[in-house]
Structure 1
């Protein structure tokens, strides 16, 4: 068995400290993408026991990433090209995550990649003073550093849900 080396490396092109956090964000995404390889359309869009489909969770992950990027980090309106990638409301009237109508894995992955590309572009040019600069919003104060921490936590949580749903679906005949 080949010995693994488990380290965190700063991604090139970023201030090193920021690059290490972005590495963590990218690593969570990498594990999701690897696990989704070969997923069938029916599995992606299957709803079980009132839970969201895997596709809806992917939509939610991308939506939240875009929202935190634009609202908290950039303190601006969404880029219209990104906003156009989200034709469905984020939440239903009863405040549950919206169920996204049947979409292919390619559609979900394209949306996720588009948002991530925007996020990476904005964080590549960031220095440590901006990384830790407090954005004073109406409900709270927040730094870009905390946003990335939150996005890692958020996507990891939903990764667990996705993996659990896949395990259950793979056990079905």
Structure 2
């Protein structure tokens, strides 16, 4: 993923994107940059650290962030649900909990960064081909009380979810740095 670090603090036009999609991508880029900054240098045991038997690891939260983006990419751009094969690949990350604790571990940081880059590359390539009107397209969402939800909100939710989990990641990292034993 190529990110223009000179424009990281500017919400505005980006080459290759329509005006409103540029603003959305600008926000997504900043959210991703700060997420990556929060995990620099973490080891596999640190990425797999669980503070208790109900918590999620940093690694599982990173894969969750990518899984949410992939699911919304399919929903809003490709206009389909996950296939059976994609469910096998992403469900542990989407659901987290016990399955995430069992299945998402023993991966180096580069593993998660590659997933981030792969998913984001698909997202940005597709978004570069869309016009601002796409953001306004809406549909009723059963899991939100059958309310009408537009693509702009869905993509706001993608990076809002990332920001939320980045906060969890920072708390977990502080606990590790404060000396909690890494299991």
Q: What is the TM-score normalised by the length of structure 2?
A: 0.78
Name structure 1 gaps, 5 residues minimum: none
Q: Aligned ranges for residues 115-126 of structure 1 at < 5 Å?
A: 115-126=119-130
- How far 1:75 sits from its partner (Å)? 1.4
Task: Give yes or no for contact 1:63–1:86 (8 Å, CA) kept in 2.
Answer: no
Name structure 2 gaps, 5 residues minimum: 1-7
Quickly say closer, same or farther: Cα 1:112–1:101, change in 2 above 3 A. Answer: same
Question: Could you tell me which of 131, 135, 153 is aligned with 1:131?
Answer: 135
* Deviation by residue 1:66-108 (Cα, 9 ceiling, x = unmatched): 1111124431245899x3992663326xx66722132111111
- How far 1:170 sits from its partner (Å)? 0.8
- Of Structure 1 and Structure 2, the greater helix share is in 2
Are 1:74 and 2:71 matched, yes or no?
A: no
Quickly say closer, same or farther: Cα 1:74–1:47, change in 2 above 3 A. Answer: same
Instruction: Identify the residue that residue 14 of structure 1 maps to in structure 2.
Output: 17
RMSD: 2.6
Q: What is the TM-score normalised by the length of structure 1?
A: 0.83
Q: How many residues align?
A: 166
Q: Aligned ranges for residues 1-173 of structure 1 at < 5 Å?
A: 6-49=9-52, 50-78=54-82, 83=86, 86=89, 89=92, 90-91=94-95, 98-99=100-101, 100-136=104-140, 139-172=146-179
Give the secondary-structure state (helix, strand or coil) at the position aligned to 1:11: coil
